[in-house]
Structure formats: C-alpha cells, structure tokens
Amino acid sequence: MRMKLRYWMIVGMLIIMIVPRLFYEVPGILDRYIFNPSQAAQQQTAMDKLVHAVSESEATQWGDAEWRDSITNLVSSLHLGVVLSNASGQELFRFVPSGSENNPTRQIAFSSDGRLEGTMNLYGPRKSNGWGVALSVIAAACVIVMIGWKIGRVVVKPLEAASAAARRIGSGDLDFDLPKSTVAEVVDVRTAFHAMRDELREALIRQSGLEEERRFFISAIAHDLRTPIFTLRGFLLRMEKGMDSSQKKLAHYLEICSKKAEQLDRLVSDLFSYTRMESLEQTMQSEQVELNGLLKDIMNEYIPAAREKEIDLRFEGLQTEVVLHADPHLLRRAIGNLLDNALLYTPRKGEVSLICHAEKNKVLFSIKDTGPGISGKDRDHIFEPFYRGDESRNPEYGGTGLGLTIARRILRAHGGELTATNNETAGSVFTGWLPLL
Ligand code: ADP
C-alpha cells in the first residue's frame, strides 16, 4: 500500500498508543473470562449482600457505633470498600482498604418517600495488574522496534541507496537499482532516479554511436582523400621527371590527373554537404517553390552530360503547378545526386527518366535508369554514409558513398522520404516524396 509519509506517521503513533493499552488489559480479561470467571460473580454477590444490609437500615442509623461495627465487619469479610454520605454529601462512614480507592465499582442512592436520604459508593478489592504493566511495556518496546525497523526499510534504506546511487552516477556507473518502498515521497524519488538512469544510459549509447560514426567518418575521409592524391602525385612526379616524353602519353597522364582532381573536388563538396546535414533543420531555408519548374530546370542542367553518353533523358512533369515550402538549393542537391548516379551507372545509349505525379497531400517523383540496378545485398545499405556497392568500388566511378545519404537526409528534413527499388525490366528506381502545403 502506497501512502504519504505524514499518514504513515499518524498510523505509527496510533499503533504506539493503542497496542500497549490493549496488552495492559489482557491479564484482567483473561482472568475474568478464562482463568477465574467465578470471581466476578462472587464479587457481585458480595456487593448485593452489602447493599441489602445497608438498605435494611435507616440513614439515621449510619452514625450509630454498633451499626458501624457490624457493617465494618461485614465489609472487611467481603473484601470490599464502602463510603456512606448523607443527602447533603457529608461523609458519615468510610471503610476503604488501601489500594481499593482506585477501584470504584458502583454508586447507589437511598431514598424514602421520594426524598434522598444518602448515597453509598462501593469499591472493589484491590487489584494488582503487574502482568498487565509488564505486557504493555514489552508490547510498547516491540511496537517501537518494529516501527523503527519498518521506517528503516521503507524510508532510510531507499534514501541511503539513492545517495549512494548519486555518487555512482557521478563516477559514471549506472548499474544500480533502488529498493522498493510504500512511502509515496520515497517512491517518487525512486522513480525519478530510475528515469534519470535510463535517460543517461540512452544518452551514453547515443553518444558512443555518434563517436563511432565520427571515427568511421574521419577514417573514411582520410582513405578517400589519400587515394586520388596518391595517384595525382605519382603521375605528376612522372611528368616532372620527364619519364615519359611522348605527347600522347603526357596527354593521357594529364587526363588522369584532371579526372582525379575532379574526383577530389566532388569528394570535398560531398563532405562539405554531409557535415552541413547534421544541423540541416536549423540551417534549412524555407521558401515557396514551384516544383515542376525546379525539376525541369535541374533536368536541363544534365542534358550535356546525358548527350555525352548518348543517354535518352526524359522528363514527365506534373499536369498542374505545384507549390511547396522547401529549400530549392537543397532540393537541387538531392535530385542532382540521384541524376548524377543514374547517368553514372547507366551504360551508353541507355535511358534515364524523371517522372512526377501528385497525390492528395504529397507529390512523388521517380528517377528510373537502365543501369545494372541495385543488388539485394546493397539495397539495405546504400543510404548509409560511405557505403559503396561492390561495382562502384572501381575507382572509375569515383564515388564517396555519401550522395544517397545526403539526398535522403534532405528529403527527410523536408518531411518526405526517399526509397530505392529495381525496375521490373532493368535498372534502378529511386522514388522520393515531399509533403504538399
Ligand atoms: P556514390 O558516391 O558511391 O555513388 P551514393 O551514396 O550516391 O555513393 O551511392 C551508394 C551506392 O549505391 C553506390 O556505390 C552504388 O553501389 C549504389 N547506387 C546508387 N545509385 C545507383 C544507380 N542509379 N544504379 C545502381 N546502383 C546505384
């Protein structure tokens, strides 16, 4: 049962007050009902006898010495005490054995012709309740020890554990479990500590994941930068030392160097975009963009590259104008990356198309190509940073493995999504969507 501390205190105090009192009464109750039930009846009879003897006499006799002697004998033989007072309350006779005055049992009024003549107070025999006192002291001690033990268990121990846990958190140890309690305030502290522990644990896992990604990121950058630089240096050295003097060879080397420089340029600009992605939501500029126009514009930029490979570049735009809130530069980058890949992986005389259509609350676009498509193994990973399919590890392709990661992050930052499948016939299909205004 869960209760506030102040209510537990009230319950504890009531127990401390009631239980010893109950134990004080136990010997008397046992005596009266179990061990000596006849004693109570005997005392009752003795009292009746005394009341009868007094009521037989006149109140005027109560001062009489002879009458007083006979009553004294009777009272002492019955082990009772008696006090007789006249109508005005003046005490006329008293015989109360010491100790019995604490044990008054009855008060009787005598009257004649409706007039009060006197009163009689009866006292039972002196009772010693040594056992009752002893039991109540033991009960009080037991109750206090039990309440102390309970407070220790439900209040002190959990709080001690909480302060030990706070020290452990300080030293980076999150492996603790605080004991349960029935005190509401302590339960609240326990719940708060456990919530803090779980959140810290999650934050640490997240942080170590980020650390891991960062380490991987740096080693991948180092690797990808080194390869083209190494090739560049090699060919430049050959040319510098005049190792191959034929014009044809020199032109070939220069072409390789220029390709490597291009590769480096792409790598650096991909890295730059990727690092910007981390704070994308904050840096994104939102403006009204007419999507059809933007897509057509992007497609036009790719006409020369497509022509070079004799690739048929097709565009099927939307029937109507569609305006959405977006960052046009980022969208250009995302769709550009997809078109870059499509043209890169599609062989000569192939086909690349960009098809759009609008649905109720979103606009979809698909970029289809007639390249090799994406293998099942690669499909789960192509959106991960620095992932490159086996085919594209060929330095000819010169990719960084960041293009699709960047494109997906851009679409997600706009509230949309990007997925990849394969065409039924040949090639891959990248489908993206953006929410409409
Ligand atoms: P990269 O810079 O290597 O192209 P991306 O992130 O753009 O990096 O692509 C990751 C991988 O996805 C590529 O290495 C390639 O294996 C695969 N891929 C991307 N686009 C296509 C496509 N149009 N056709 C076939 N495979 C693709």
Tell me the C-alpha distance between 107 and 421, whole Å: 106
Mean pLDDT within 410-424 = 92
CA torsion sign for 372, 377, 383, 384 is: negative
Tell me the C-alpha distance between 424 and 19, whole Å: 86
Residue 58's nearest CA partner among 146, 118, 17, 123 is 118
Mean pLDDT within 111-116 = 84
Determine the distance from the C-alpha atom of residue 418 to the mean position of all C-alpha atoms in its chain, rounded to a whole number: 33
Residue whose pair of structure tokens reads 């994941």 in the numeric block: 209
Q: Does 239 have pLDDT greater than 70?
A: yes
**Structural element, H or E, at residue 347:** none
Mutate to test the pocket of ligand 1, among 388, 406, 419 (most ligand atoms within 8 A of CB): 388
pLDDT score of 215: 80
pLDDT score of 303: 93
Atom of ligand 1 nearest to the CA of 337: 7
Tell me the C-alpha distance between 302 and 315, whole Å: 11
Residue 282 vs residue 10, higher pLDDT: 10
pLDDT in tens, 88-99: 888 888 888 887
Mutate to test the pocket of ligand 1, among 270, 366, 374 (most ligand atoms within 8 A of CB): 374
Residues with CB under 6 A from ligand 1: 337, 341-342, 345, 369, 371-372, 374, 378, 382, 387-389, 391-392, 399-405, 428
Burial class from Cβ neighbours inside 10 Å (0-12, 13-18, 19+) for residue 331 reads buried
Nearest residue by C-alpha to atom 12 in ligand 1 = 382
Tell me the C-alpha distance between 20 and 134, whole Å: 10
- Between the CA of 427 and the centroid of ligand 1 the distance, in Å, is 12
Three-class secondary structure of residue 420 per DSSP: strand
Mean pLDDT within 16-32 = 86
Tell how strand 287-290 and strand 312-316 pair up.
Answer: unpaired
Residue 103 vs residue 202, higher pLDDT: 202
Residue 330's nearest CA partner among 275, 402, 277 is 277
Tell how strand 81-86 and strand 91-95 pair up.
Answer: antiparallel
* Packing angle of the helix pair 184-240, 5-30 (nearest 10 deg): 140
**Structural element, H or E, at residue 229:** helix 184-240
Encoded amino acid at 293, one letter: G
- Between the CA of 334 and the centroid of ligand 1 the distance, in Å, is 13
pLDDT score of 336: 93
Which of the four pLDDT bands, split at 50, 70 and 90, describes residue 389?
confident
Tell me the C-alpha distance between 437 and 432, whole Å: 16
Encoded amino acid at 27, one letter: P
pLDDT in tens, 350-378: 999 999 999 888 999 999 999 999 988 88
Cβ–Cβ under 8 Å, residues 367 and 195:
no
Tell me the C-alpha distance between 228 and 263, whole Å: 7
pLDDT score of 335: 95
Which of the four pLDDT bands, split at 50, 70 and 90, describes residue 281?
low
Tell me the C-alpha distance between 369 and 314, whole Å: 10
Identify each DSSP E strand in 185-259 by its residue range: none
Which residues are 288's β-sheet partners? 325
- Between the CA of 199 and the centroid of ligand 1 the distance, in Å, is 37
pLDDT in tens, 146-168: 999 999 999 999 999 999 999 99
Among the listed ranges 190-194, 260-264, 272-276, 429-433, which one has the minimum average pLDDT value? Answer: 272-276
pLDDT in tens, 300-346: 999 999 999 999 999 999 988 899 999 998 899 899 999 999 999 99
pLDDT score of 293: 93
pLDDT score of 279: 66
Mean pLDDT within 12-26 = 91
Atom of ligand 1 nearest to the CA of 401: 8
pLDDT in tens, 34-92: 887 777 787 788 888 888 888 888 777 888 888 888 888 888 887 888 998 988 888 88
Residue 4's nearest CA partner among 187, 131, 134 is 187
Q: Does 392 have pLDDT greater than 80?
A: no
- Between the CA of 322 and the centroid of ligand 1 the distance, in Å, is 29
Tell me the C-alpha distance between 78 and 43, whole Å: 8
Q: Who contacts 280 (Cβ-Cβ below 8 Å, separation ≥6)?
A: 330, 409, 410, 413
Tell me the C-alpha distance between 271 and 255, whole Å: 24
pLDDT score of 420: 96
DSSP secondary-structure letter at 302? T
- Between the CA of 326 and the centroid of ligand 1 the distance, in Å, is 25
| Proportion of the chain above pLDDT 90, given as a percent | 43
Tell me the C-alpha distance between 260 and 341, whole Å: 18
Nearest residue by C-alpha to atom 17 in ligand 1 = 389
Q: How far apart are the first and last CA of the chain?
A: 54
- Between the CA of 384 and the centroid of ligand 1 the distance, in Å, is 11
Q: Does 393 have pLDDT greater than 70?
A: no
Residue whose pair of structure tokens reads 């299909």 in the numeric block: 429
Atom of ligand 1 nearest to the CA of 427: 24
Nearest residue by C-alpha to atom 14 in ligand 1 = 388
Which of the four pLDDT bands, split at 50, 70 and 90, describes residue 299?
very high
pLDDT score of 36: 75
pLDDT score of 371: 93
Which residues are 367's β-sheet partners? 354, 430
Which of the four pLDDT bands, split at 50, 70 and 90, describes residue 127?
low
Nearest residue by C-alpha to atom 2 in ligand 1 = 399
Three-class secondary structure of residue 158 per DSSP: helix
- Between the CA of 274 and the centroid of ligand 1 the distance, in Å, is 16
